[in-house]
Amino acid sequence: MTQRFFLLLLSFFSSNVFAQTDPWQFILDAHQACRNLNYHGVLQAEHLQEIRSLEIIHAKHGEQEYTRINTLDGTPSELLSQGNATFVYGTKQDNVVIQKRNQHRLFPAVLPKSTSNLKKVYQIDMGKVDRVAGRPANVIILMPNDEYRYFYHFWLDKETSIPLKMIVSDHSNQLIEQTSFTKVNVNSEDDLSWFKPDIDLSKEYVMHEEEDFSANTPRFWKMATIPEGFEEISFRVTRSSVPNVLNHHLIYSDGLASLSLFIQPVPKGQKPKQGSAKVGNTNISAKYMKGYQVMAVGSVPQKTVESFVNSVSF
């Protein structure tokens, strides 16, 4: 009897310890922390060989999330997001252009709310405790099971679980993308006075909205098998800059990696493109079929964009 009780006690403690150190739980905690906590910080983002500093303020007020991000380097631009409504203010010549965006998945809120899809295509591992922006952090590494996606490294704040740093690297351990807080404060202030655009009254404010025709547009193409884990998360149909041409834009994601697939009729006089190219760390693959230009773009391996382009048929 004593032996049985001892075994039961041991199994309880071992399962409890495992639950606390399950690395997938860190991903879920990080997702919740980014949505529910109030934080204010400065971060540095590197992409396409450029490093920019940004200021971010996030607050949860009632059931709504409020975010303001403004660039600290170069041309002034900012983002204001309330729930699902996101507005971007960008300076262009003497105007401030206001654009409405449907969604955003910006650092630090880059981790998905469910890990079920990630578990199919990534292995997870924990590194040694590190220090970022003056705060101790748990290191989590997501390693792909195949060659269709990159490695993701996250430094999660030990106290709050907020991602403090993210590095994306390829299979040769080359840096693809890096974003990191240099300073962050987590607070419980119930103040939203910061949630307003920095209006410059000397400039003209122009609203730039793209009409989406996706609700009335049939899908005239077929998709064969795509790499495992990728799911369609968005479909938009917009007017191209060429008259009478509609641009079909599909977005696929596995929860971390994402890519765009464009299907567009080739206007008269324009030569369609075929083959693959690279801009910075973004891969592009193009194919011409039955009068349509099919193009896949993404911060994913070349193999992935080629696979998506080849999966389209008419």
Partner 1 sequence: MKDKISSLFDNEFSDAELDNLLSDVTKKKSHQQSWAYYQITRDVLNGNYVSSSPMTDKIMDTIEKEPTQMGGYVHNSSTTLRAELNYLPHVFAFSVLLLIAFMVFQSPINSASSNAVLLVQDEIPSEIMQAHFAHTATNASYFVQTGLTNAQ
For partner 1, the binding residues in 103-142 under the rule CB under 8 A are 103-107, 110
| Contact residues for 239 (Cβ-Cβ < 8 A; gap 6+) | 210, 211, 213, 245, 246, 247
Interaction mask 164-203, partner 1, x per CB under 8 A? --x----------x-x----------------xx-x-x--
Residues 6+ apart with CB under 8 A from 19: 25
Q: Which of 144, 227, 229, 298 binds partner 1 (CB under 8 A)?
A: 298
- Note whether 54 binds partner 1 by CB under 8 A: yes
Residues in contact with partner 1, counted by CB under 8 A, come to a total of 95
Q: Rule CB under 8 A: is residue 244 a binding residue for partner 1?
A: yes
Cβ proximity to partner 1: between 82 and 169 the closer is 82
Choosing from 259, 301, 306, 312, the residue that interacts with partner 1 (CB under 8 A) is 259
- Of residues 55-114, which lie at the interface with partner 1 (CB under 8 A)? 56, 69, 71, 74-75, 77-80, 82, 85, 87-90, 92, 95, 97-107, 110
Q: Which stretch binds partner 1 (CB under 8 A): 11-19, 57-65, 112-120, 260-268?
A: 260-268
CA atoms within 13 A on the CB side of 271: 2
Nearest distance, CB of residue 5 and partner 1, angstroms: 50
Closer residue to partner 1 (CB): 144 or 265: 265
| Interatomic CA distance for residues 96 and 237, integer angstroms | 25
Please state the closest distance from residue 77 (CB atom) to partner 1, in A: 4
Are the beta carbons of 133 and 180 closer than 8 angstroms? yes
Residue 277 found at the interface with partner 1 (CB under 8 A): yes
Contacts for 304-310: CB closer than 8 Å, 24+ residues apart: 304/148, 304/149, 304/227, 304/257, 304/259, 305/259, 305/276, 306/276, 307/148, 307/226, 307/227, 308/226, 308/227, 308/252, 308/259, 308/261, 309/261, 309/285, 310/224
Determine which residue in the list 22, 38, 40, 52 makes contact with partner 1, applying CB under 8 A. 52
Q: Six-digit token pair at 135?
A: 């705060």
CB of 147 to partner 1, least distance (A): 20
Answer yes or no whether residue 269 interacts with partner 1 by CB under 8 A. Answer: yes
Cα separation of 307 and 170, whole Å?
A: 18
How far CA 202 is from CA of 96, 199, 293, in Å, comes to 10, 9, 42
Site string for partner 1, 212-231 (x = CB under 8 A): ------x-x-----------
